[in-house]
Structure formats: C-alpha cells, structure tokens
Amino acid sequence: METKYIVLIGVILLYIVVVYLFSLLAVKRDIGKRRLFWISLFLTPVIGLAFLLSSQHRKLNLYTEKRFECEECGYVFSEPHEYCPFCEKEGHKHTLKPVNMYMT
C-alpha cells in the first residue's frame, strides 16, 4: 500500500476517535452521546459543539426509598409484612429484609 493511503486511513481513524471522545461530553445532556456522535461525525465537530451547548442538562433527582425484599423469591414490597405473602401462600414463611432502592 502506498504511504498516502496509510496516512489517509490514519487521519480518518483519528477523526472518528476525536468525535467519539467529544461525544462523551453529552452523557448528562438531553442530546445524548449517540446523537451527538452522529451529528459530529457527519456535520463536523464544530456543529456538534453548537448542538452540545444548546442542549440542556438532564434533570434527574435520584433518591432512595425503603423497600422490603424477600430473600427466597426476590420480590420487593413497598409495605412491610411479617412474612412474604407469595411464599406464605406456598406454605413457606420467609421474613422480608429492608433494602434501600434508588428512585427517580
């Protein structure tokens, strides 16, 4: 292969890597990293930067709630029970353990 083709392939691969690294900036934005990747790849990273700056930050508020999980069947309840209702119907008595679950 001629050196000009090797240089051309290297430049194309470098461009794709730079666009991918640039798209990682949009992980916590409404535009998303996949959409920004394709915009930047086909319409240049300068236009991708304009889309990134015009995009809003995602507004997710994570909080935890106390839930109760059966260790046998894995079902999670929002109310406390003495024993797992599903396992109790089958004749087994398994206590529920309190767990904190992330909610949005």
So what's the pLDDT on residue 1? 67
Question: What distance in Å separates the CA atoms of residue 72 and residue 95, rounded to the nearest whole number?
Answer: 9
CA atoms within 13 Å, Cβ hemisphere of 80:
6
Q: What is the pLDDT along the chain (104 residues), one digit of tens a residue?
A: 688 899 999 999 999 999 999 899 888 888 888 999 999 999 988 999 999 999 888 777 778 889 999 888 888 888 888 888 888 888 888 889 989 888 76
So what's the pLDDT on residue 36? 92
Question: What distance in Å separates the CA atoms of residue 95 and residue 34, rounded to the nearest whole number?
Answer: 44
So what's the pLDDT on residue 41? 93
Q: How far is CA 76 from the centre of its chain?
A: 23
